[in-house]
Amino acid sequence: MLTEITYHHDWDDERIADWLHGRISAALAMREGPVAVSVPGGSTPFPILENLALMDLRWERLEFWPGDDRCVHPDHEASNLGRLRNALAATDAQVIPLEEDSQPPHFALVWLGMGTDGHIASLFENTNPLPDDEQMVRRITPDPLPQDAPFDRITMTLPKFLAAEELMFVIRGETKQQLFQEAVRGQNDLPVARLLHNARASITCFTG
C-alpha cells in the first residue's frame, strides 16, 4: 500500500525553506551528533537552500549530500556538488561529495526532484532501478543522454532513499504534477512510481 502523502500547494521558496527549517530542527533535537540530509540537483532546490542558509540552525552538525551528481569537476557548472557548496557557503554545514565508493549515512530527510520522464536522482528508466538493489551508490549512463547535461552520473539507489526517515518532493509545472499523480495511482512503472510504492516513510510533496 502506498504511504500517505501530504501535499502543500503553491508555496514559494521562502515558505518551503521555513518548512525545511522546522523538519531539520526537529531532527537535530531528536539525537546527538551529525544529521544528514540529501538534496537533488536541477534548478529548483538552490533558491530554497539559499533561503534556508539565512536561518538559524546548528549548521555544524549538518551534513548535506547530493542525491546524485554528474561526473564532472566540482567547479563545472553542471556539478550538483558545486552548486550545493555555493548555496550553503555562508553556513558551517558539511557538504559531502557523492562518489562511487561513498558510504552514505542514514538520512533524516531525503529531498527528491523528478524529471518529465519520471526519473528521480539519476535513476532513469533505462537503469531499471530496483528497491532491493544491493548497492547504495551506482555510476550510470542515462540513455539517451540529456542534451543539457550529457555526462555519466553517480547516484544513490532506491534502497538508500527508501531508508530515510522522511521523503520530500517539490514538483512544479502541470506536466510533472500529472505524471507524479499517475505514479501515485500506479498508472506507470517509472522510477518515481517504484519509489513511491515501496516507501514507508512519510512523504511531503510541494506542488505549484
Q: Where are the domains of the chain?
A: 5-207
Taking the C-alpha atoms of residue 123 and residue 158, their distance in angstroms, rounded to an integer, is 8
Taking the C-alpha atoms of residue 48 and residue 207, their distance in angstroms, rounded to an integer, is 14
Answer whether residue 1 shows pLDDT above 70.
no
Three-state secondary structure call for residue 176? helix
Give the model's pLDDT for residue 144: 84
Give the model's pLDDT for residue 98: 98
Look over the chain and give the mean of its residue pLDDT values, rounded to a whole number.
96
Q: What is the pLDDT of residues 7-22, one digit of tens each?
A: 999 999 999 999 999 9
CATH topology for the 5-207 domain = Rossmann fold (3.40.50)
Q: Cβ atoms within 10 A of the Cβ of 136, count?
A: 15
